[in-house]
Structures are given as C-alpha cells and as structure tokens.
Amino acid sequence: MRVVTVEQHGKTYVGQWPDADAPIEPFALSPDEAADGILALVDRSVRGEPADLTGERLDPAEVTLLAPVPRPRRNIFCVGKNYHAHAEEFAASGFDSSAKAGAIPPHPIIFSKLPETVIPIGAPILIDATVSEAVDYEAELAVIIGRAGRAVARRDALRHVWGYTLLNDVTARDLQGRHSQWLIGKSQDSFCPMGPAAVTADEIDLADTQVRCWVNQELRQDANTAQLIFDVPTLIETISAGITLLPGDVIATGTPAGVGIGFDPPRYLSPGDLVAMEIAPIGCLTNPVMRA
C-alpha cells in the first residue's frame, strides 16, 4: 500500500494513493490523528484497530502533498557510510572523522537529525551563506518502525517495520568537518526533505531496490539496496541494543556514492538548483534549492 499525507482547504488527510493517475482515498481519521500523517496508521496498527476508508476521492491535482511524517516524534536515526562506494569516496574527502578506522566501518555509524528538519516535496532546501556554503545532497531509503522493541534480534527485526519512505539527508559538509560530530551539519532548517509517499513493508524488496538522485537533471546517484554494508535488520538490531525503538521512529539507511563531496572539486548545491530523488515504489521527491 502506498500512502500520502495531503492538505486541502486547510484540512489534512491521510490516504492511499496507488499511483499518480489514481485518486487519493482518505482514511477515516480524526483531525488530530491526520495531523500526525502516516503515524496515525502506525498507531492504529499497534492498537489493532482498523483504519477504514471514508469513501471520498481526492483529486491529486487539487491537494498539497505534505511529508508522509510531517514531524517525527523524536530525532531521526541516520546511518553514515553504509554503501561501499560512498564509504570510499567519503573517506577520501577529508571530512570523515571516522576515517582512521578505515573506509569501510566495522560497525554501523549512527547519528541523528532533528525532527524540525523535515520538509515536503516542493518545499525549498534553504542555504544560509552566513552558516554554510558546502551544502550536499544524500538520497536515502528510510525505515518507519511499526512495533516497539529493545534488543531486537536481527532475525526478528523486519517484524518491527511498518514501511518505508524516501528522504534527502541534506548535509552542511563544512559544519560536519568543523564539529566532528554530525548533528549540527545535518540538522539545519529544511535539511530533511521527505516523501512524496510512504509504502508498507511489503512494497519494498530490500535485496533489490534502486535509489537514484539527479541534480538539475544530471544523474548523480544510482545504486541498489543490495549494496548496503549493513542491511536493515542489522541496523535495527544495532540501534535497539539498549535503545527502545518506538512505533513511528524513522531510520535513514545511508546514501550511495555520487554525493557532491565525492567530486574533485566538490559539487555542492547552489541556489537555483533542483534536486530530484526516486525510489520507484515510493515516488520522486523533488525540491528546489533557495537562499535563506
């Protein structure tokens, strides 16, 4: 099932939307539930309550797409250096504080982004030149947790997944290098475009899903989730070892090679650029770049 969060005439809806040629079919949710986006469906699933359709049909041309999770309930868990080729390009960039341990990390590198970074399709990625002039893009498959768990064994991990979405882990590389830890460079306002939809777990083949990114129609990133260093079950096992994962938590699984820092010289984003990312079952996430 492919699900979107949308707004029409000041009202928020969560609905299933099979494809761009189909109408959006809203679920029967209270206004408070709908404000949480697809997390309302996650919560219903936890409680064992069905989410029935209203029978309405919304014209996609007449709604505004919001992020599927308009505001995560806590920081987004993120994973660094999780595709082999990207680990090599980042280790060579000079911005990798973990490079002394080798290009390929022996264990998952986990950091976070603030919830307020999330923006929807079409909203601008903002570059504040007084803060950073080295803003980069990172296309990533993101996991949406549907069932709480602590010390989740790898073999059981996928039972805790509700579904997946697509996000852009926008990064200020100069801040990332300056502060060694990555929170500030990853958590600037507007630095997490998300969407355009979320899909339930059965829609994604983790062994064969393509992740692509274009900047100004130039293909920059093109890789397959089969190339992940640490797969989704391993990431869930790692994070939940001592941290209780909660329904609605979001885990960004890492970005492939082809980010701006990987070019010589680097090819960072500039005002006027257009970034487009695609994971076929989820859709295409497009955001312009503007000066703050």
Residue 97 pLDDT: 59
Average pLDDT, the chain: 95
Is it the case that residue 96 has pLDDT exceeding 80? no
Number of alpha helices (DSSP H) and beta strands (DSSP E) in the chain = 6, 18
pLDDT confidence of residue 98 = 60
Q: What's the pLDDT score for residue 92?
A: 62
**What share of the chain has pLDDT > 70, as a percent?**
96
What would the mean pLDDT of 221-227 be, rounded to a whole number? 97
pLDDT tops 80 at residue 136: yes
DSSP state of 124: P
| pLDDT category of residue 185 using cuts at 50, 70 and 90 | very high
Beta strands in 45-174 (DSSP E): 64-66, 76-80, 109-113, 118-119, 125-127, 135-136, 139-145, 161-168, 171-172
What gap in Å lies between CA 245 and CA 129, rounded to an integer?
36
* Residue 244: other Cβ atoms inside 10 A: 12
Residue 240 has pLDDT above 90, yes or no: yes
pLDDT confidence bin for 93, thresholds 50/70/90: low
Which of the four pLDDT bands, split at 50, 70 and 90, describes residue 91?
low
> What is the structure's pLDDT at 227?
95
Whether pLDDT at 94 is above 70: no
